Amino acid sequence: MARLVEYKDMAPRAKAVVDGIAKARTIDPAAINNVWKALARHPDVMERFADEMRAAFAPGKLDPLTKELIYLAVSVANQCDYCIASHGAMARKKGMTEEMYEEFMAVVLAAQKGNKLVMAYRVPVDAAFEDQ
Amino acid sequence: MARLVEYKDMAPRAKAVVDGIAKARTIDPAAINNVWKALARHPDVMERFADEMRAAFAPGKLDPLTKELIYLAVSVANQCDYCIASHGAMARKKGMTEEMYEEFMAVVLAAQKGNKLVMAYRVPVDAAFEDQ
Amino acid sequence: MARLVEYKDMAPRAKAVVDGIAKARTIDPAAINNVWKALARHPDVMERFADEMRAAFAPGKLDPLTKELIYLAVSVANQCDYCIASHGAMARKKGMTEEMYEEFMAVVLAAQKGNKLVMAYRVPVDAAFEDQ
Amino acid sequence: MARLVEYKDMAPRAKAVVDGIAKARTIDPAAINNVWKALARHPDVMERFADEMRAAFAPGKLDPLTKELIYLAVSVANQCDYCIASHGAMARKKGMTEEMYEEFMAVVLAAQKGNKLVMAYRVPVDAAFEDQ
Amino acid sequence: MARLVEYKDMAPRAKAVVDGIAKARTIDPAAINNVWKALARHPDVMERFADEMRAAFAPGKLDPLTKELIYLAVSVANQCDYCIASHGAMARKKGMTEEMYEEFMAVVLAAQKGNKLVMAYRVPVDAAFEDQ
Amino acid sequence: MARLVEYKDMAPRAKAVVDGIAKARTIDPAAINNVWKALARHPDVMERFADEMRAAFAPGKLDPLTKELIYLAVSVANQCDYCIASHGAMARKKGMTEEMYEEFMAVVLAAQKGNKLVMAYRVPVDAAFEDQ
């Protein structure tokens, strides 16, 4: 298991990253979640990931909940327990209801099935899908 | 590569499935895409998958484009070329602009990175995420 | 794409491996399938893989078709196109009928769904399953 | 971790699913395993999965143990800990001996190696395998 | 298949990225490989990936060939055909001999086997490995 | 969780395997790590894996640390927690510094991104990469 660094014990570079996240989420930096406490020992990776997350979740054409659902879909496909737990919580905070979650899971499971089907039956891509 | 069965050559059970899909999409059944032409030789799997897709994409709390993006996210994570090609086309048909696609990819790639990071650093799930 | 080495052009170590496989399958060594033509350039990997395959498919408590279905199930889960094509052909040669193939796919797809479900819902292992 | 719902606390739809499974396995519904206790909160997914499992494991051309081994093979390939634990137990109950398990693992590991080999060396599918 | 944009037809942002890569590799920008011709239509993703690659392959404590082998190992595990082809070529350019490639594959395949073994047998992490 | 067999309780075949590993690592056989304690119940798989590991890590053209990093890269890509923990420890023992680990992770994460990018954008392999 990762050795976690509490906010008060973080080096300045790590603290700066957490400060940015805490401010954006309007939470106490000391309440930052474990992934950042683990990353605090790896400042290059930490800064790059924080930057990539900030850019990915910056306001844009897709609303915040849709982005969380995309993140969660990838995490379920990749079977990342931490990400499922943390981004499931995020999705709920951003408005995912139980009904939405049921629909989300229905699509994820249909996709899983579709993915394996077309591989198992070795389906060639339609010409119509090549021209985009 | 799968041996594809054209609509006119399908058995009644397969034809019925394609008729249902073609009607819902308001397309000519003869223009059905390859996955269904391949599945036509496997009627049990075909009917079950068609049923699961219909249920997953039935009108609900998540809009049709969001569902396509969730499907596409799973397909990218699973590296299913056919699904990426076909559901990429579907997403565009349902309103995905280039800007949305850029944002989609940014989230998918951030998720991929997050998934691997927490595994590599062996991050334990926060107690706060357990209670949901 | 791999540069394939035809049997007649193989070095003695590779030829010996192919001879063993051809004999066991009662085929002409020149008709060996591509994976071995590709492996011919990598004799250490080739010998070790041939040995592992021979041991895995040696007569035992599981019948030859069951072993092929296990191999095929892993290959579908891993989305290995070559392996799906080649071991699908092998399974047919060893007696897999269309009905069996339908049942095989039904189990594979149910397993895929089960695998993702328990990860997504974060299901803990039952105490009863720990004691084996 | 999933919040588990005990049988006595399940809603009627979930109870009905568990009743069906318990009857088929001739066990007490209260002794149902965790995946169903977790799914009880997700009735649509639960019903669909129970139905798919019932169909996949219905009597047919493949015997019950072979089906369990196929399920287990997918679960090992997908690294699903819960499924490995639960379907490993199921396989034993359906007659898998230690010798069979050794052979099963030998085939799974050979398949894993074969899958990666052909991808790494980029082996093209033989023409002979295309025509099926 | 991706629509590729040739260097002469790229927008300035994409051209700038390719110029940087071409300079570092001392090649003609027109000879840039396909991934960049595909990314040219996705400038945000392109710039971020180019930046991440530059940082990852910047001179450091690990030599350039070791880094290529790490990249190639991930690509084989993930079964990315393009990446296996392109980074296999890169590795050769940076000094990977056939003997090294044999050893590389031996380690990759041993790792694949080890990964599946410990999952299949559900091996708990040693206390000694937790304290790092 | 696997039932672990302590060295003193192992059957002769398992003991012989552990003796070989312990001697090579110059450790007390009783201090062998869990994977071998779990494998002790599966002697065929155990012997074959021990043999494959010995061959993969035998002195050669790639130095021991490079081999560990390749093993670790595969394990991160495959998300094998035990392997990440154990081979992370091994890599440190063989000289991996924190700086090297940062660089390792940077390459692994860049590879993960590259792998998904080329699949998502469906990038065709360059003709130049085919001819090797």
pLDDT at res. B79: 96
pLDDT at residue C127 above 70? yes
Of E77, E84, E117, the CB nearest to D122: E84
SS3 category, F104: helix
Cα–Cα dist D116/E67, whole Å: 20
- Nearest partner of A69 among A96, A102, A34, A51, judged by Cα: A96
Cα–Cα dist B91/B71, whole Å: 9
pLDDT at res. B121: 96
Place of tokens 């709390």: B61
The alpha carbon of D37 is separated from its chain's Cα centroid by a whole number of angstroms, namely 17
Closest residue of chain E to C48, computed from CA coordinates = E106
pLDDT at res. A1: 77
pLDDT at residue D10 above 70? yes
The alpha carbon of E64 is separated from its chain's Cα centroid by a whole number of angstroms, namely 12
Enter the tokens of residue F46: 């155990």
pLDDT at res. A131: 65
Band of the pLDDT at F52, cuts 50, 70, 90? very high
Q: What size, in residues, is chain B?
A: 132
Over the stretch D59-100, which tens digit does the pLDDT of each residue have? Answer: 999 999 999 999 999 999 999 999 999 999 999 999 999 999
pLDDT at res. A55: 97
Q: What is the 3-state secondary structure (H, E, C) of B44-98?
A: HHHHHHHHHHHHHCCCCCCCHHHHHHHHHHHHHHCCCHHHHHHHHHHHHHCCCCH
> What is chain C's mean pLDDT, rounded?
96
Place of tokens 């249902």: B20
Percent of chain F with pLDDT over 70: 98
Enter the tokens of residue F103: 């660089």
pLDDT at residue B132 above 70? no
Identify whether the C-beta of residue F55 lies closer than 8 Å to the C-beta of residue C48: yes
Q: Which residues on chain B place their C-beta less than 8 Å from a C-beta of chain E? A: 79, 101-102, 105-106, 109
Closest residue of chain E to C47, computed from CA coordinates = E106
Q: What size, in residues, is chain A?
A: 132
What is the pTM (predicted TM-score) of this model? Answer: 0.96
Over the stretch E101-113, which tens digit does the pLDDT of each residue have? Answer: 999 999 999 999 9
- Nearest partner of F121 among A56, B108, B118, judged by Cα: B108
pLDDT at res. D88: 96
Identify whether the C-beta of residue F88 lies closer than 8 Å to the C-beta of residue F123: no
Distance from CA of E108 to the nearest CA of D (A): 9
Band of the pLDDT at C17, cuts 50, 70, 90? very high
Band of the pLDDT at B20, cuts 50, 70, 90? very high
Q: What size, in residues, is chain C?
A: 132
Q: What is the mean pLDDT of residues E118-124?
A: 96
Of F1, F44, F130, the CB nearest to C130: F1
DSSP-derived secondary structure letter, B60: S
Q: What is the mean pLDDT of residues A1-13?
A: 94
Over the stretch E23-67, which tens digit does the pLDDT of each residue have? Answer: 999 999 999 999 999 999 999 999 999 999 999 999 999 999 999
- Nearest partner of A39 among A23, A18, A60, A20, judged by Cα: A18
Closest residue of chain A to F105, computed from CA coordinates = A45
Distance from CA of A118 to the nearest CA of C (A): 10
Band of the pLDDT at F2, cuts 50, 70, 90? confident
pLDDT at residue D131 above 90? no
Q: Which residues of chain A have a CB within 8 Å of the CB of C77?
A: 116
b (16+ CB within 10 A) / e for D1-39: bbebbebeebeeebbebbeebbeeeeeebeebbbbbbbb
Residue partners of B80: CB distance under 8 A and separation at least 6? A114, A115, A118, A119, C79
Q: What is the mean pLDDT of residues E4-31?
A: 97
Over the stretch C32-80, which tens digit does the pLDDT of each residue have? Answer: 999 999 999 999 999 999 999 999 999 999 999 999 999 999 999 999 9
pLDDT at residue F105 above 70? yes
pLDDT at res. E131: 65
Triad A32, A95, B111: Cα angle to 5°:
55
pLDDT at residue E132 above 80? no
ipTM: 0.96
pLDDT at residue F132 above 80? no
Cα–Cα dist B130/E92, whole Å: 47
Q: What is the mean pLDDT of residues F117-132?
A: 90
Q: What is the mean pLDDT of residues F83-92?
A: 96
Of F44, F79, F80, the CB nearest to D106: F44
pLDDT at residue E88 above 80? yes
SS3 category, A61: coil
pLDDT at residue C123 above 80? yes
pLDDT at res. D132: 60
Interchain CB distance below 8 Å, A67 and B35: no
Distance from CA of E3 to the nearest CA of C (A): 21
pLDDT at residue E84 above 80? yes
Enter the tokens of residue F16: 């012989």
pLDDT at res. E1: 76
pLDDT at residue C131 above 70? no
Enter the tokens of residue A95: 């408005």
SS3 category, F5: coil
Cα–Cα dist A63/A80, whole Å: 23
Closest residue of chain E to A130, computed from CA coordinates = E1
pLDDT at res. F31: 96
pLDDT at residue C132 above 80? no
> What is chain A's mean pLDDT, rounded?
96
pLDDT at res. F130: 86
Kindly tell me the burial class for residue B73, based on how many C-beta atoms sit within 10 Å of its own C-beta (0-12, 13-18, 19 or more): buried
Q: Which residues of chain D have a CB within 8 Å of the CB of F79?
A: 79
Among A3, A44, A82, pick the best mutation site for testing chain F contact (most F Cβ within 10 A).
A44
DSSP-derived secondary structure letter, A86: H
Place of tokens 């084996």: C132
Triad F90, F94, F95: Cα angle to 5°:
120
Place of tokens 């897999």: C96
Dihedral sign for Cα atoms in the order A116, A122, A128, A132 = positive
Amino acid (one-letter) located at F57? F
Cα–Cα dist F80/F91, whole Å: 16
Distance from CA of E68 to the nearest CA of B (A): 19
Over the stretch B55-64, which tens digit does the pLDDT of each residue have? Answer: 999 999 999 9
Enter the tokens of residue D29: 């519904």
Q: What size, in residues, is chain F?
A: 132
> What is chain B's mean pLDDT, rounded?
96
Q: Which residues on chain E place their C-beta less than 8 Å from a C-beta of chain C? A: 79, 101-102, 105-106, 109
Q: Which ranges in chain E belong to alpha helices (H)?
A: 12-25, 34-39, 43-56, 64-77, 81-93, 98-120, 127-130
Identify whether the C-beta of residue C64 lies closer than 8 Å to the C-beta of residue A107: no
pLDDT at residue C100 above 80? yes
Cα–Cα dist E2/A130, whole Å: 8
| Helices C64-77 and A98-120, axial angle in degrees (round to 10) | 120
Identify whether the C-beta of residue C84 lies closer than 8 Å to the C-beta of residue C75: yes
Give the side-chain half-sphere CA count within 13 A for D22.
Answer: 16
Place of tokens 């990598």: C42
pLDDT at res. F24: 93
